[in-house]
Structure 1
Amino acid sequence: MKKLISLFILLLIVPISVRSSDPSLDDDVLGLIVFKADIQDPNGKLVSWNVDDDSPCNWDGVKCNPRSNRVSELVLDGFGLSGRIGRGLLQLQFLRKLSLANNNLTGIISPNLTRLDSLRVLDLSENNLSGSVPDEFFQQCGSLRSISLANNKFSGKIPDSLSSCSTLVAISLSGNQFSGSLPSGIWSLHRLRSLDLSDNLLEGDIPKGIEGLNNLRGINLRKNKFTDVVPDGIGSCLLLRLIDLSENSLSGTLPSTMQKLTLCNDLNLHKNLFAGVVPEWLGEMKSLETLNLSDNSFSGPVPTSFGNLQSLKVLDLSMNAFTGRLPESMINCKNLMAINLSQNLLTGGLPSWIFKLGIQEILLSGNRLSGSMDSLFSSLIYNSPQKLQVLDLSGNGVSGEISSAVGDFSSLQVLNLSRNSLDGSIPASIGKLKVLGSLDISENRLNGSIPSEIGAAICLKELILANNFLAGPIPISIQNCPSLTTLVVSRNSLSGPIPPALAKLTNLQIVDLSFNNLTGTLPKQLANLVGLLSFNVSHNQLQGELPAGGFFNTIAPSSVSGNPSLCGAPVNKTCPTVSPKPIVLNPNSSDSTPGSIPQSLGHKKIILSISALVAIGAAAVIVIGVIAITVLNLRVRSSTSRSAAALTFSGGDDFSHSPTTDANSGKLVMFSGDPDFSTGAHALLNKDCELGRGGFGAVYRTVLRDGRPVAIKKLTVSSLVKSQVDFEREVKKLGKIRHPNLVALEGYYWTPSLQLLIYEFVSGGSLYKRIHEGSGGNFLSWNDRINIILGAAKSLAHLHQLNIIHYNLKSSNILIDTSGEPKVADFGLARLLPMLDRYVLSSKIQSALGYMAPEFACRTVKITDKCDVYGFGVLVLEVVTGKRPVEYTEDDVVVLCDMVREALEQGKAEDCVDARLQGKFPADEAIPVIKLGLICTSQVPSNRPDMGEVVNILELIRCPSEGQELV
């Protein structure tokens, strides 16, 4: 420790730029220890760096010159380091290589780093360094040969002083936000072999003078904003192997000087504005292995000279306007592995040569090609079918049947024959394709049934058979494709039930069975598919109740429409609870005959049809049922009224006193204060006093005799509530809970048919109304919102410390008092149920749509307090954005979590903040709060933080300004 202190004192006293007249190993130890002090090492990668060592040469990441024993290389790639690059490294006067790539280093870059006289290689790529690169950084770059600042967050212009680093051989500044024009002085670096400025915001034209780079092997300007033409001088860089100018706005035609680049093996001009005919001289670049001219405006025929490119492996001419037939000369391209000519105007039959080269990927979609599928497969089979991995002929005019020989393509992973004119049936041999991941043969004229052998394609992820004439059932064997994520068989003539086996496909995300003739009920097991994003069964003949839970709690009405016998909330049709039994007439009855009534009832014999008798009998049953239900309701109301009225006459004290109990009046317990009510039963039965309704019951306002208002929840789960002993035990536990952000439970009332919970009355209304119905003076400022979020978090953290799970957190269960403080209500009510059954819970809190954690739908996952954390995360996003957790539009269902997560990934998180707060909220608080909300809504419970951690994070985020409030 003394040595460490002395080293730091030495560092403070002696300027780093001054070298000792008698350099020793302490200079290197000092520099590295000071460097380590400025960074964090969470993975303990630098544990071997000991200040008491006389030499750092055995430290991890450190390499010394064997002659001088001075540090020559410091390579800490992928060590997981964070923090800033401090001045300590400037002590390493003999350092030749510094590589800190793939860490989490932040801050700006010091201009002094390149002043190390011996430094040859500097690699700071894959970090989070930011700011501009100072001009001085390159003014004294000594003998630097390679520099990489790739994949950081640097911005501003590339310094002109870069041209002064005459020894540079390799420059990589890719993956940053450099802007402005490319400094023309960069072409003066005559030793340069590799230049990578891709993935930036550079603009303007590519300056002239590139012909001076006689040693240049690779130039990558991909994904910038360069305009104008490719400079002629590029043809003078005869050693060029790689040219990548893709994703810019370059235009015109290709300079003819490029034909001299006979060593070039990779030419990428993808996504520019090039136009006109591709010149024949391009075939003279005989070393080309990859040629990408896609997404431009090239026209005319594909040059016949391409047949000269015998080294060509990948050819991509997609998304242009090429016409005519593919040249037969390309049969000479013996090394071709992938060809993409999709989205052009090619015509004629399918070229035979393309299937004789043993190509692995063939993409010809979106052209005007014709021909027979039979001849196509014959060519493929004859020429090594085991090599083909991707075949996409979609959107052409191919006709004929799919040959059973398709099963011979054992390596096929993607087969897309959609939007053609194919007919016949799907061959059973499709099941031989053991590695097939995607099969799309939609929008053809296929008939027959879906072969059961489809289940043998065990790697299938996408199965799209829509818009054909397929009939028969959905094969049960589909359950043997465990990786299936997409199943689309809409607009066919499929019949029979939906197989429950679908529920075994746990990876399903998109299911479309619409516009068929499917019958039966929807299997309840489908609710267990936690990954569902879309499930469309509209326009079939399905019946019965929709599955409950999971995705089906938020399913769009349009996804189940067109099924007249389907019932449930999405179709706005109540499911019948009791089905009338059929009426059976006894033909052997002695006092009646079929179709008649007893003679004693009239002088005339009245003949009634069987259907008439059935109708009359059914009507009688309905009438009797209505009368019985009415009588029962009257008895229940009478009992309820008597029980409620008894509140006026019964009383009780706190826990230390015995409450009054009467067999007729029930038992009332108030934990403190006067138990008598001024309005009694009238408050409970008068709609004017009702405050709201939830999954566990209705809430009414009434007043004690001392004038103090209270809220009474009349539980509607009487049949599920525990016994009186268990009920009272649980309620008394809840009554002892006191927290500034929890609604206090003041007492309870018990009879076997009526249970009441008596709460403190909070006058400010619910958070839901303040967010979604607030206006004028009720509008919530940013400070109001974050105060509510923090208060709710503290209340949940307190409950979780007591091992109580809320289960029903939502904005309508958070009340606002007169001082603006939040108070969480309805906590712990699930403890009153006999068991924490998922179905009962989900049905009781189905009004909390969008707040429910996904584990409710998965019976194998334990429900813990992390489901409250999920609901809290949704609540956070609701408060910040002002949007409901789930909102319906005419065409879609918008899930708040998904919307915010997508906006955050696109760097538009601030746009999610409530529009009423625009310009009136601190982004440095809002963005972290949004991120916290998304973390809390993680699909995996273990990835969600504890509420105690949430409180700590919120208190760190919140930075209230003194004397100034954002309104």
Structure 2
Amino acid sequence: MKIKDSTHLQALMTIKNTLKDPHGVLKNWDQDSVDPCSWTTVSCSLENFVTGLEVPGQNLSGLLSPSIGNLTNLETILLQNNNITGLIPAEIGKLTKLRTLDLSSNHLYGAIPTSVGNLESLQYLRLNNNTLSGPFPSASANLSQLVFLDLSYNNLSGPVPGSLARTFNIVGNPLICGTNNAERDCYGTAPMPPYNLNSSLPPAIMSKSHKFAIAFGTAIGCIGLLVLAAGFLFWWRHRRNRQVLFDVDDQHMENVSLGNVKRFQFRELQSATGNFSSKNILGKGGFGYVYRGQFPDGTLVAVKRLKDGNAAGGEAQFQTEVEMISLALHRNLLRLYGFCMTATERLLVYPYMSNGSVASRLKGKPPLDWVTRKRIALGAGRGLLYLHEQCDPKIIHRDVKAANILLDDCCEAIVGDFGLAKLLDHRDSHVTTAVRGTVGHIAPEYLSTGQSSEKTDVFGFGILLLELVTGQTALEFGKTANQKGAMLDWVYETEKN
């Protein structure tokens, strides 16, 4: 979609006009603008095609316009955690390049349009925590690329297709996941067997006398009402406390649940990493090692293993990283596949980044070209902008550096390592903490006051830009000059000359 196309520009303006924007996050969407790629929350490709609409958690209300179907190059739609109401427009089925669609935690109602089955490239679909009703979208069985599906906490009815995404969750739909259905049929990490939910009574019971059938039906109705009430209470508590992920007290360890994030068995990760072989070490940090792993289906992952799962620092690192990554969802942020907890172990499982970190590639062969370096800078900037402006509460990373910017197969920047991150309410200017971070990347005012804000991340991002330009890390500069802050001194001297 070329930005000069007035049809597509009008589509964006129509989307804006049908939404209510209390925080003004769409205020720079201007009808007279010649470059929508400069608009907040709009992402574009290098060819100036609009590929992303990303406005999560901003209290948007109103309707989602059918004009969204005219944005035919969209790959990502992130509108979760808002108050959008109405129907999901059937025109969304025109977005054949769409890979991520997240409309969760809104007030959408009605049926899921069958046109969703046209989204051949769709990999990630979340429509959970709405009030969608009607039959389960059988067209979802046609989405061959789908790896994650979450339709939980709606009012959908059966039957359910026999083939779903690799990871799926349909709990909280009483007409599908009632008392007669095994829990494993409602969420999991493998396709479920086909079954038909239209007939809830076995043939033997149906053949009983009419009187018994009436009594049985009444009992089922009462149970159904109780299940609905319990489901509503659970849904309400889930929405109210969805940011409280788990209690890491050892006595509750076996009851930990992170929703759609898979809980792995230790032996699975042990096998995938070759018993944590030193040959599979990708890197190490203050809390442990990261290993390359491969599951039996061929999926490559990175497994972060804490040195001491019971140590106070390691436990805090584990909880912080899971909480932050679960709150934030963006194409330039590292997402979490799963975790593992035992009495002595804490492990986190991430997608494998084939091109390593920016720090490793700065010295690698072949060297990064300038186009790639620019793309890395823009991607990392988009990820940080999302953390600071579009998350509620906002997230302060506190350790922005080349080693924590990972590169996927296409050398797209992925911001990772949230072990030092902090939550900050949008009404607050800073959070006071013990100084944490990496030498050469810590803002001077943070060192002197202990007050961290998005400005400290911006400082770290500035150092990252210098690393991309010079091809050296800030720490290497310091070692060469035998002093801290040598990279900034070099910039000052360069400006003088």
TM-score (norm 1): 0.23
Whichever of the two has the greater Rg, that structure is: 1
- Between the two structures, name the one with larger relative contact order (CA 8 Å, sep ≥ 6): 2
TM-score (norm 2): 0.42
